[in-house]
Structures are given as C-alpha cells and as structure tokens.
Structure 1
Amino acid sequence: MPLTPSDRELVVEELGRDPTPAEEALFENLWSEHCAYRSSRPLLSAFDSQGEQVVVGPGDDAAVVELVEDWYVTLGIESHNHPSYVDPYDGAATGVGGIVRDTLSMGAYPIALTDSLYFGAFDREHSRYLFEGVVEGIADYGNSIGVPTVGGSVAFHPDYEGNPLVNVACVGLLRADRLVTARARTPGNALVLVGNATGRDGLGGASFASEDLSEDAETEDRPAVQVGDPYAEKLLIECNEALLDEELVVAARDLGAAGLGGASSEMVAKGGLGARIDLDRVHQREPNMRPLEILLAESQERMCYEVRPDDVERVRELAGRFDLGCSVIGEVTEGNYVCTFADEGGDRETVVDVPAEYLADGAPMNDLDAVAPASPERDLPDVPSREAFEAVVGSPNTASKRWVYRQYDHEVGARTVVRPGDDAAVLAVREVGAEPRSAGESSGPSARETGLAISAGADPNWTSADPYEGARAVALENATNLAAKGARPLAAVDCLNGGNPEKPKVYGGFRAIVHGLAEMCRDLSVPVVGGNVSLYNDSASGPIPPTPTLAMVGTKAGYDAPPASLAGEGTLLVVGDGPLARAEVRLGGSEYLARFGGSDRFPALPEAPADALDALADVADHPATLAVHDANHGGLAATLAEMVTGDAGATATVEDAPALFDETPGRAVVETTDPWAVRERFDGVAPVTELGEANSTGTLTLRAGGETLTYGAGEIAELRDVIARELE
C-alpha cells in the first residue's frame, strides 16, 4: 500500500522535497490505521483513563497501575487478527510474544495471559482449522516462555468466517523502582538492539493489518506474518530482568508494528528528541538486506533500549550471557530521526532524515460518515423448553472450553489459585509480602495478602444485536466476573475490533461500541488505561461484528474465592436485576435467538451497577457463601448447567420458560447457607430472588412455565463437551 496522494502531499510539504523510498515506506506504515488510529483516535477521548491508581495511562507499550504501596501491575492487550487468518499458528503465537514484550518494556515481569478468540461458525471446517491452529500457537508459545494463560473467551459467529479475531492480553508485575517507559531521555545515550537477528519476515505487517483481507490472503500475504521463537523470548525475558536489576535501562521499546523504524522513531518522538541510526550495524540473519527491509521487518523477540554510554559494554555482556544478539545501532540526538546505511564498499548513504514527532504523530485523522445501528423488532420463535435447553447448553458458544484451556500451562509460576473455566482467574501476588501475625491472631488474610482477579472477553451476539447496549453489557459482565470471586475492579484495557470504517454502517457500529464501553466503565469507576484498535477486519464474506474485547483486573484481600460449581448444601438465589425480578423478558443478543432465529430488544441494564457489584463482592467473601456464578451467556439455563458437577445437583423454578434464556448481565447465582445475610446486603441495592435449592443428587431439575426438565450431571457434561467431541 503506497502512501495516498493526499498523505504524500503532506509529507512533501513538511520535508520540502520528495521522500526517499525508505521514508515513504516508514510514513506508510506509521501513518497506517494500525499504528496511527486515524479513524478511531477521535473517538477514544470518550474513555476515562484517570484515577489515583493510574501510574502510566494510554500511549506507552503497556499501562501501569498501582497494586499496593511500592508495587505496580502492567496491563496490555493487542490483536493479531489478519496474521492469524493467514497463518493461524504463527499469527497467534507472535501475538503472545508481542504483548509479553510490551510488558517487558515497562520493567515488569509477565505473570499472566488471557486470550479472547472469535471464529466463524463452528460447523465450518475452515473455522475449526483456524481455531485449532490458533489455540496450538498460543499454547506452544505461552507454555514455552513460562507465562500462564489463565483466562479469556471463545466465541463462534458466522460473520467471523472470513476474518477471525485473536486478542491477547498480558498482566505484569514490578516494584515501583523498576518502572521504565518508552520515552527517550538524554541526547548522547546509545540505542542498543537486543534479541534475535533481523530477517525479512513480517515486512509491511502494519500496513497489512490496515486493509481488508482479500480472498487469496492466505497465500499472497504470508510474508507479512512474523515467525516466532519462544525460546529466544524466554531468554529475552530473563535478560530484561538482569538489565533492570543492574539499572542499565533508561528507556525501552518492543519491536512490534513497523519493526525497528516504528520502535526507535516512536521512542525518541516521545522524548521530543531525534536519533542517528546506522542500519548496517543491526545484526541480521539474512544476507544482503536492504535498508528498507532492516527498518520495517517485524522479526520477533527484539527490544530497543536507551542505554548510558558507560553501560553499553555491560549490556553486551549480559546479552551474551543469555545467548542473545546485541547491536549498538546509534544514539539519541537533538535533531531529526536519521538513518544511514553503508554499502559493501563502505560508502554511507542517508536513507531517512525526517522529524521524529512528525513521523510518529503527524498522521491526519479521518473524518468519516457514520450511520447509527437500527433497533430490532420483536420477533420471537416458539420453541419447546427441552429443545431450547439442549440447544443452548450444547452450543459451542456456551459449551465447556476445557479443550482449549487444558492445552495451556495455567499453573506455571505457582500463582494461579482460581483456574480457567471459572468466571475469573485469581492469582496470588505473594511478592508484595504478608505482615507477620502474632500468636493466637486470626488466620484471615492480612492487609498485604493480595489476590489479583482477571477477566477478559466480549460477546458478538450482544454487540451484533445492539452495539451500544451490547458494549455496555461487555463491561458489566467482566466486572461481574470479578465480583463473583470477591474482587473489586482496579483498571481495564480494551481491544476495539471493527470492519472497514469507510463504510458508514460499519463505522456507526464501531462508534457505538466505543461509547457504550466507555460509559459503563465510567459508571463502574473503572479507568480504561490503554488498549488497541483493529479496524479493516473485513473480507469477501463481509465485516465482522463490532467486537469490544475488554480485559479487566481487580483486587481482593487474600486469595480464597468461592467456586462456580455447587457444593450441594445451600439455597440458590439470583442476585441483581433481571427477568426474575420483573415481568418482561428480553432475548435480544441471546444464544437462544442465535440458535433458533428471531429478534428482540437487548435486555435493560441495571441503573446502579457499581453498588450491586460491590454487594456481590461482599457476598462472595461471606463465610456462608458456598458458590457464586455469573449468569450471562446462555442465561440461567447455561449457568445452572455449568454449576452442576459430580454429586452436586439443584432444583430450580422460574415462572416463564423464556426467562431461562434471558442474558441480562450483572446477575449472579449464589449458593448460600445464610439467605438472610445475602438479602440484607442487597437490601436497597438490587433484587434478590430465591431460585431453588442445591442438593447431593447430581441432577438438575428445572421447573419452567409448567414444564419440568431433569438432567443428570453426566448428561449435562455430554451436552457441554461438544467442542472436545468434535475435535478429538
């Protein structure tokens, strides 16, 4: 993709001359939608990114928030959508590698990954091929580098057939005194490249990610996909720790989109500085690489560091200790961003000489037309309760994702307390230290025992039905997942995925998810501290649904959390607004309609969601609480089916059968031996409705609208095991 005539005209005016081929390619990539957010940046001011806990907000490789005094966590999320269509294994694997390096560049050690994956209809052979390849790529890379994949989501929807989504988030941990940013500091400091050698893989990846996928993308665009080496990444993780231990890093930047040219120019631009880079000094794995290739190759497992001159030799030594390449490629300056290259005869040529800030931040924003999504009419199918229950509970969207997460090492690092398959993962952050207890003191958690809860995902059924309300629901659902484990939200990052923004209906849906997500996060007092935008997810089969993946973290005192599965001993309550608390059921965006067709309005969301989630977090930590499970995808039918395991069963009653399939977010099912305590905590906050009783029969009995459905735990497990059954 060459520069558009209008962009080229701006560059020529700024430089006072025609750009060189290398300059033109740099501007093309750094001014692409993928790097410059030309269609989305005007919308992103809707997000509230401020808060007392926010240390570094949007704009760096990852965001940084305070966990407890003297300890920070980093949050980052990125998409690798187009590469994962062209090459599902390497596309997904290098997505993991990139977000981990974003974590390293802030001075943090990566402690957890989540993956939110979206594919075409599960019954399509090509969708299953992509699904299997992506999961394998994530598993092989994450397991090899020793970072646990602890959560995420998987969704199937026909509109992803020509363009799947792979959204990966990473959480890191660091002491406050180890914080590093991507802002270059001092002219005269060296720029040092550490990691794998540079090859020709990934050329033009940023511009490739900024255009619709063509029908022959799997063959034509293969060179734009990077190839990962997780073992080099593991060495880079440990080398980065050693560099930080010795305080050798002044600033750092991961080499991701637009490669060395993107990382180095953005680093100095953030500091209002320039650079001089000798491209022939870059360690290379292929002969006769051209300057443009060295600048733009997106070869993986590479970091660019700003280093004081006196520390350069020690950086070389540490890189050598970890068997990593190391090149001193130039220095920070007060002038332009300048790149030179010496040919075999030793003649040095200046191939780039541009203002760094103009290159990194000068792209003009797009002013696009938008058409607001239409509201659906009510048109509900009439389906027998048993058929509906089995179709919804047995849908790949609500089915067990055990086939996916059992391929991930989710316990490496010995932090994972609540594992994948629950509402949210919970990690024990022991590094912050626990205060010693005196003899005879209560064994409850001390103020320094911190649990970190993580939830991530979105629901394309919701945002297809109503982009604005569906995006609000995505934020509420992720926060409810945290509250169900007794945690309160700390911060979030988003990955905003959309189709071709030049189509007014597509851009209207994208604008709606931005405003919906921002509004609910503001209502919940959750700062959105960073994120990623991926547009042009469009193909011959049409645009994807607007997909606002959210990764949210929360904290709690201690590490214990109630399970999602029943104990078989308590009363079942539904807490929160929903169809059990009001006469009207809304099935818009539900898996029920996805299975049987029809349309409806999206459910009304609660008016005071923050208060309700605060109450839910308290209930989750109450000693009488035996189980808590967020009620969302698939409604109460899927929620209760997921809670019945082994010998634990339940009897539940709803007045009308459709209420089983309403997916109003913000609700949860609680098993408790003290229903009065739950009602007292929710008094004046949100409704509490008795649903039934848990028991030790291993059977789920549902009474709905005069009909009784009975399923044993084994029958439910068979229904919910559809993914593994089809793929194994």
Structure 2
Amino acid sequence: MTVHNDTVSAALASPDEAQPYRELGLKDDEYARIKEILGRRPTDAELSMYSVMWSEHCSYKSSKVHLRYFGETTTPEMAEKILAGIGENAGVVDIGDGNAVTFRVESHNHPSYVEPHQGAATGVGGIVRDIMAMGARPIAVMDQLRFGPADFPDTQRVLTGVVDGISHYGNCLGLPNIGGETVFDESYAGNPLVNALCVGTLKVEDLKLAFASGTGNKVMLFGSRTGLDGIGGVSVLASDTFEEGAERKLPAVQVGDPFAEKVLIECCLDLYRAGVVVGIQDLGGAGLSCATSELAASGDGGMSINLDAVPLRAENMTAAEILASESQERMCAVVTPENVEKFREICAHWDVTCAEIGEVTTGKHLVITHQGEVVVDAPAHTIANEGPVYERPWARPEWQDALQEPAEITRPSDLRAALLDMVGSPALCSRAFITEQYDRYVRGNTVKALGSDAGVLRIDEETHRGVAVASDASGRYTKLDPNMGARLALAEAYRNVVATGARPVAVTNCLNYGSPENPDVMWQFRESVHGLADGAQELGIPVSGGNVSFYNQTGTEPILPTPVVGVLGVIEDVRQAHAHDLGRAGEPEVLFLLGATGEDFGGSIWQQVSGGGLQGLPPSVDLADEQRLADLLVGAQDITAAHDLSEGGLAQAVFEMAQREEVGVRVDLAAVHEDPTTALFSESASRMLVATTPAQADAFQARAEELGIPVARIGESTGAAGAEAQIDFGVVSVPLAELKEAWESTLPKHFGHVVGANSVVE
C-alpha cells in the first residue's frame, strides 16, 4: 500500500498525475467523487485515507441500506436502556443500580487465514480496545470460529494457529475466555471465520464516546509506536477475496503485543478515573486515518494533526504509511489543555508512550502536516461518514427452491453406532482440546464458562449481580433459509442465556457473508438482517451494535452465510444460576423436555453425519415460545439443571448433561416422539431439557403447563455413576464411558500432533 510522498501544493500543481487508486481498492467513480469533494486530485496521503475509510470494512458501503432496518424496527421501549448503540465502538446497556455493560463481536477473518496466530491474536486485541474506548474495563472474551473440514490438511495450520493466537493474547491480558463455538465445514476451508467478542463493565456516568469537542483541545496519541505492520491490513484484506497464494500476503497482517495492551488497559482506566479524557477512539482498522477522521467528524469542529509528532518504530515512513498503519495497542484521546500534563503523568506512570499530535480547530476540515508540508486538507466527515452507499442488486437465487426440496430422513438400522458417530463427529465432539488452552477463571468472577450454555460473570461482588453471554450461528440453517437461519441463531443465543437463569436484555451481531457483488449473497444478507431485526423486535430486546464481514469466499465460492448473534442477559444473583449438568442435586433427578418435537432435519447434524448433505428447510421458530421459556426459567428455584436442545437434538443434550458428573440416565423416547430417530436427533427449536428433584417435579410441570409450554416427563438420572453409568434410551443403551471416549478423542486425533507448532516463544 506504500505510495510516494505528496503534498496539497503538489497536487494542485499536477492535477493530471496518474494515481494508483485501483490498486488501493477504489473504483473509478469513487476516485472521481474524491476529486469532486476536494476540487483537485488527492494527495498520496489523502488517497490512502479515503481508500481505507471507504473500504467495505470501514464504510459498510454495501450493507448500510439494509442495516438501517435495525433502527426502523427498534421501538422506544427497546432503546431506553441502550446508552450507546449502532455506530459506536460497542453497544452499552444500562443494567440498573448505576452499572452498565458493553459488548461487541467483530471479525478478523481474512488476516487469520493469511497468518493465523497474529490474525486471531490481533482480533482479540482489537475487540478489547473497542470495549476500552467506551470507558469500560474489559472483563471477558469469547470467540466464534469456523474452519474447513477437520481432516483437511490446511485446517491443521489454520486451527492450531488461530487457537494459539487467541489463547496467547487473551491469557496474557488476564481475561477469561467464557465460551463460543467451533464449527467445521468445507465452505470455510479457504476462508475461516474468526469472530471475537468482548464484554466490559463501567458505571453509567463513566461512558466515553468517540468525538473531538472543544476548540483548542489537544489530540493525544498513546500506546505502542507506529510501524509498518498492518499497512493495508484488515481494511483492505476484508474488502477482497482470496485466490491461490494469498497466504503469502504476510506484510498486511498486524503484529500484536498483549503485554503492551494489558498496560494500556490499566492506563486508560486511570485516565478515566482522573477525568482527563473528553473523547477517545481506539486505533484498529485503518489506524490513524480512522481515529482522526472519526473523532473530527463526530465532534463540533475540525482537527489539525502533525505526523512528525507520531512516535514511530520504523524509519522513513511516508505520511500515507503512518496514516494507514494498523500497528496495534494504540489509542487516541482528546484532552483539554489544562489536563495534558496530568495525562502525560498517568501515561508515564504506566510506561506508556504518549505524544501530543494535534488539536481541535474551528471549521470542519482535517488538516494533516508532515515534514512541514500539508499532506491532507479535507472535510473530515467526507472521509469518515460519506463513503459511497451501494444498493447492490439482490435476488432470490434460482437454486433456492431446489435446495429447499424436502430430503428423505435416513433412519439408522444401528442406533448404537449412530449415537457414537454423532457424539464423535467433528460437529458435536468435545472442544476441550481447544478450550483447555484458554484461561477461563482468571480475575475470579467467572461463574460459568466453557462447556456451559452461556458464560456467566459476577460484576458486583456485594450484590452478586451478574451477566450471562452467549453467541450462536448456523450457516447450514441460514443457507437453507436466511431469514429463518438468523432467527434461529438469535433464538439459540437467547435460549442459552435463559438456561442460566438470566433475563436477556440486548443483542449484538457479526454478519459473515460472501461477495456483496453477488446478488445471491446480497439476498442472503438482506433476508438475514430482516430476520434478526424482526426477531429482536418480537423478543423486545434491542440490537445494540454489530459488524459486517463481506468477501468471505475463495474464488467465486462463498462461505455458508453465517450471522453470528450474541445475546447479553442479566442475572440478579449469580449464586442462583442454573447448573447445566446432572448429578449435583445429591439425589436422582427427574428430566422434563420442554417444547414440541417434530421431524426437523433440514440442516441438522444428523443430516450431515448420515451423509444427507444439506437439503430441505431448517426448523421453524416462534419467538413467543422462547419468551415463555424465559418466563419459566428466569428466577426459578425448582430447577437443578437446564440445557438447551439445538445441534444434535435430544441425544446430544442428554449426553452432555450426564457426562460431566458421569451419571447414568434413563429416557423414554416414546414420551418424545413415536419415531426413535426423530426423538433422538431432531433439531426442533424452542426446546430445553430441565431437571428437578422428585419432590419438585409435579409443581414444575404445573408451572410449565400454566405458561402454555409443551412439557413431557421423559426420564430420570439413575444414580449409577462412573463405569456403571449408562445412557439408556429404551430402544438402545450405551455405556456413558464409551460415548465419552468417542466424544473426547476426535479433536486430539486430528490436531494433537501439531499442538504448539504455531506457538509464539517469548
């Protein structure tokens, strides 16, 4: 992305000089629009800024017209608890008693294919800084990962590098990793998805926003020095597709230093406590180009910046390189003149490099100088907010009808073998090989983490108030029906939060799709946005923010459309959070299945494992059913364990509830459905498996019936444990130990021999 030095005066003197705008991702009409805005050709630095800020990743130019639907469907009642929403670095939710929680999920897909360790590590670092920029302390992370088939050779390179990068960065930061998903599918073989989520806490009055206010206020750049790493990084990589040999694009991937970010977190919190920050922005995608233009555009004036004051770690960097660098662990703050010295003192206390690089001015222009010459003089809002808006063609694909044709259900002749195949499949097997590389209990406030339906964190050590967070997606469902697929992702994340006993309050998302220039993809995207927005409205919880990642494809083949949906819930007392496993009540427990079971196999794991490909319609979800489950479970005192039913159906849920404490379970499949295959493996929505004690069983069933929830008493834990434990479905019984062996052995078999191959040695 390097271009030569150039100034405004030189641009005026050479209006016809050819510029490499196409190489920087700009189209002919976009370049013409820049010239129209400026009244001349851009300088090299201006061209660099416009190219990165008008990229798909930064400007949302193909998605804006559809994302507006979130605002159209958010009612005043839904929005009243949102302190900061769509358009900010992260959504912030008022959860009462003066406390607020911020959360967001963002993609780092393309860098994680090019250089898996650093791509994933800096994805974690970037989302953590988004949370910091809201005035919050980051308290936990989680991730949504998608890879090619587990036995695909390149998956070994990508998965082990990504997991190593996530664990290295998150563990060094001292942030617990409280959950997520790992999915394998052929469509992700050349384009993995690495979506990182972070949660933070703050007091309502401590909320910070990204704006430059007050003429004469100073612009302070602090954190790591600016280098050549990441130039044209996420902003350009996320606006392009991968062709053969793309793994050689190493210079475009940022390099992270988690220890520098850990110190930066504490420094920011001290700056906030001292009250010396007027506005703040992190430096992520597009680096200084983004931070300066967005701060100025969101403020009440212009801004002047002197690049000679930027601390560098490389020699002879051009203005364009300094502005486009995506070097990590950097923040930009607006500070009143009288507070500059205090700001410097706090940075010095933490040994954080800081520099005064400019100030807020009158007018609306962003003026940047380098080596005594003006290299940028442009209206800030045209860089940050006036990128092109495309109404891309969209149309329902011609192949959609054939894809949705009903598929014949394969009914296994050997249910025992089918159960072992399912629990041992890459789709359902234990993720312990991955999750054990993450620290889940650091900071001491993790109540539930990996292996639970949702992560649960204590945020108030006196009242024990806490939050639950879950994120979910199914590309298989969404390919079959994009609108329903997004609703199902929302419903599952909502249900996972409810399973802990928390009340859902807000939604975030990360929408991962193929090329927006493909009408099929844009139809999938539009349908998903509408499904998610309408679903959130039906549930009465707002979408507080999100992220869009396009161009996720290899050549012309897009990934499965993958709308990752995160849901945040509030639980009044984390000590009362529901368990997710049997065997903790001290006596045999009664099992109830909540919700109706039908022949829902379209996009299911059974369809995948049994060789049925991808065919049919996904389950249909009525979100009113999800609300009824919430009314039953939130605050309930008669539940000993709860677990949602989703991928793998009842069989997987029963096994997962039994395996941790190694207790036996007996289930009457006839109470679920007349067909054993349907009873075991159907993925009908809005279902949950709940356990109670025998003394509470009748009262619990009556409460469920009163709420209009289909409820069936389907079995009980047997009291047998360890080697004696069986999962007995009547028509088939399998030793729990045998199922557990199949479940635990899959990922080590595929990846155990390459553990540590991508590790960073300090």
* TM-score (norm: length of structure 2): 0.89
1:647 CA drift (Å) = 4.0
- For 2:518 and 2:421, locate their aligned partners in 1 and report how far apart those are by CA, in whole Å: 35
Verify the 8 A CA contact 2:226 2:310 in the aligned structure 1.
Answer: yes
Q: Which residue does the alignment assign to 1:130?
A: 158
- The reply on whether 1:703 has 2:729 as its aligned counterpart is yes
Q: Whole-Å Cα distance in 2 between the matches of residues 170 and 251 of structure 1?
A: 21
2:759 maps to what in 1? none
Residue 686 of structure 1, aligned match among 681, 684, 709: 709
Distance (whole Å) between structure 1 residues aligned to residue 56 and residue 172 of structure 2: 32
1:263–1:607: structure 2 CA closer, same or farther, 3 Å change rule? closer
Q: Equivalent of 2:396, from 337, 359, 372?
A: 372
Q: Is the 8 A contact 1:119 1:164 kept in 2?
A: yes
| 1:31 aligned partner | 54
Find the partner of 1:150 among 159, 162, 178: 178
Offset, 1:262: 0.8
| Cα distance between partner residues in 2 of 1:507 and 1:611 | 31
Structure 1 unaligned segments of length 5 or more: list them. Answer: 435-448, 580-584
Is 1:570 the counterpart of 2:589? The answer is: yes
TM-aligned CA deviation for residue 12 of structure 1 = 1.2
Matches within 5 A, 1:561-640: 561-567=577-583, 569-579=588-598, 585-598=599-612, 599-606=615-622, 608-618=624-634, 621-640=635-654
Aligned to 1:363: 387
- Counterpart in the other structure of 2:293: 265
Percent identity of paired positions between Structure 1 and Structure 2: 40
User: Is 1:112 the counterpart of 2:135 in the alignment?
Assistant: no
The aligned counterpart of 1:446 is: none
- In the other structure, the counterpart of 1:66 is 94
Worse-matched range after superposition: 247-256 or 307-316? 307-316
Q: Is 1:402 matched with 2:426?
A: no
In the alignment, what sits opposite 1:212?
241
Deviations 1:252-276 (A, max 9, x none): 0000111001111101101242110
Structure 1 pair 533/268, CA: closer, same or farther in 2 (3 Å)?
A: same
For 1:208, give the aligned amino acid: L
Contact 1:648/1:697 (CA < 8 Å) preserved in 2?
Answer: yes
Q: CA–CA distance in 2 between the matches of 1:306 and 1:429?
A: 29
Alpha-carbon distance in structure 1 between the residues aligned to 2:582 and 2:555: 46
Q: Which amino acid aligns with 2:477?
A: W
Which residue is equivalent to 2:45?
22
Aligned equivalents of 2:240 and 2:207: distance in 1? 35
Aligned runs of 1:410-449 on 2, under 5 Å?
A: 410-430=440-460, 433-434=462-463, 449=464
Is 2:673 aligned against 1:664? no
Match of 1:391 in 2: 421
In 1, distance between residues paired with 2:333 and 2:622? 48
Q: Give the match's secondary structure for 2:219.
A: strand
1:266-415 map, 5 Å = 266-343=294-371, 348-373=372-397, 374-375=400-401, 376-380=404-408, 381-384=410-413, 385-415=415-445
Tell me the CA shift for residue 600 of structure 1: 2.7
What is the distance in 1 between the residues matched to 2:348 and 2:662?
56
- CA 1:115 to 1:87, structure 2 compared with 1: closer, same or farther past 3 Å? same
Contact 2:175–2:442 (Cα < 8 Å) also in 1: yes
Worse overlay, 299-308 or 18-27? 18-27
Residue 647 to residue 211, structure 1, CA distance change in 2 (3 Å): closer
1:651 aligns with 2:688: no
- Render the CA deviation track for 1:162-195: whole Å, top value 9, x for unaligned: 1000001111111122111002211110000000
Q: CA deviation at 1:14?
A: 1.5
Kept after mapping to 1: 8 A contact 2:535/2:623: no
Q: Is the 8 A contact 1:212 1:536 kept in 2?
A: yes
Q: Is the 8 A contact 1:499 1:537 kept in 2?
A: yes
Q: Root-mean-square deviation (CA), in Å?
A: 1.6
> Residue 689 of structure 1: CA displacement?
1.4
Alpha carbons 2:304, 2:359 under 8 Å: kept: yes
- Greater shift, 319-328 or 673-682, is seen at 673-682
**Aligned position for 2:18:** none
Secondary structure at the aligned position of 2:442 is classed as: coil
- In 1, the alpha carbon distance for the partners of 2:132 and 2:412 equals 52
Shift of 1:614: 2.0
Distance 1:53 1:342, change over 3 A: closer
Partner SS for 2:89 = coil
Counterpart amino acid of residue 236 in structure 1? L
Counterpart-to-counterpart distance in 2, 1:430 and 1:39: 41
Is the 8 Å Cα contact of residues 79 and 165 (structure 1) preserved in structure 2? yes
Q: Structure 1 residues 226-235 or 648-657, which shifts more? A: 648-657
Give the superposition deviation at 1:339.
4.0
- CA positional deviation for 1:363: 1.3
| Alignment-mate amino acid for residue 213 of structure 1 | F
Q: CA deviation at 1:461?
A: 2.1
Q: Distance in 1 between matches of 2:38 and 2:213?
A: 25
Alpha-carbon contact 1:162-1:540 (below 8 Å) kept = no
Residue in 1 aligned with 2:125?
Answer: 97
Question: How much has 1:494 moved relative to structure 2?
Answer: 0.4
Q: How many residues of Structure 1 are paired with residues of Structure 2 in the alignment?
A: 698
**Which secondary structure does the structure 1 equivalent of 2:668 belong to?**
strand
Greater shift in the superposed pair: 175-184 or 113-122: 175-184
Cα deviations by residue, 1:290-310 (Å, 9 ceiling, x for unpaired): 100110100000000000011
What amino acid is the match of 1:406?
A: E
Gap regions ≥5 residues in structure 2: 1-22, 753-762
- 1:336–1:356 Cα contact (<8 Å) kept: yes
Residue of 489, 492, 495 corresponding to 2:504 = 489
1:43 to 66, 71, 75: 66
Tell me the secondary structure at the aligned position of residue 729 of structure 2: strand
The alpha carbon displacement at 1:566 in A equals: 1.2
Alpha-carbon distance, 1:624 to partner = 3.1
Cα displacement (A) at 1:342: 4.1
Distance 1:138 1:112 in 2: 13
1:477 aligned residue: 492
1:577, 1:606 within 8 Å by CA — same for their partners in 2?
A: no
What is the CA–CA distance in structure 1 between the aligned matches of 2:623 and 2:570, rounded to whole Å? 24
Q: Render the CA deviation track for 1:621-678: whole Å, top value 9, x for unaligned.
A: 4333221111101111111111112441111122212221111222110111222222
Residue pair 1:573, 1:669 contacting (<8 A) in 2 also: yes
| Contact 1:277 1:340 (C-alpha < 8 Å) held by counterparts | yes
Equivalent residues of 1:105, 1:181 under 8 A apart: yes
Contact 1:615-1:681 within 8 A present in 2 as well: no
| Structure 2 residue 471 is matched with structure 1 residue 456 | yes
1:726 Cα shift? Answer: 2.9
Mapped to 1, the partners of 2:101 and 2:636 lie a distance apart of 27
Write the deviation string for residues 78-110 of structure 1: whole angstroms up to 9, x where unpaired. 100000000110000001101111111111000
C-alpha deviation, 1:198, in angstroms = 0.2
What one-letter code is carried by the residue in structure 2 that aligns with 1:451? G
Secondary structure at the aligned position of 1:608 is classed as helix
User: Contact 2:411/2:677 (CA < 8 Å) preserved in 1?
Assistant: no
